[in-house]
Amino acid sequence: MDLADILGKEQIIPDLRAGNRWEAIDELIGNLVATGKIQAGDREAVTAAVKKRETSMSTGIGFGIGIPHASTDLIFEVVGALGRSRTGVNFEALDNQPVKLVMLFLVPQGQFQKHLHTLANIAKLLHKAEFRQSLEQASDAEAMLNIIREHGKK
């Protein structure tokens, strides 16, 4: 599963307001609720699942990237939201650098292979310096989505 498969323009926040990883996770989950990707009543349980995973080890993988994720039985398909912080978020990343791109995704419970495959695809794409720079410089969510779609084809 590729990034373009799980993101629509509505799931891209070009100006994250979060200052740390917990606020970023809350903001992105709020987006998933607002766009109908997760039920409002499931917000707390989904947030707890993502934060539990994040507490075990930061998903700030370096290069200004954070990929918080979790499995949950509260969804039936992979969903995600992407946030961009112009100033950077303290994500307690492995390289101690601020995170500018935060890609949160959720996978249905029990789909371990899909979870690993999705994580690998997202990480591989975000590790490309040219792709990250394009996203960081894009004017808005629509431009960001076009970049994602274009790079997904390469």
Backbone angles phi, psi at 138, to 5 degrees: -60, 150
Residues annotated as catalytic are 69
Which two structure tokens, joined as six digits, stand for 21? Answer: 């990883």
Distance in angstroms (rounded) separating the CA atoms of residues 108 and 110 = 6
**DSSP letter string, 50-71:** HHHHHHHS--EEETTEE--EEE
Q: How far is CA 146 from CA 109, 138, 150, 151, in A?
A: 30, 10, 6, 9
Only one residue has tokens 């431009």, namely: 143
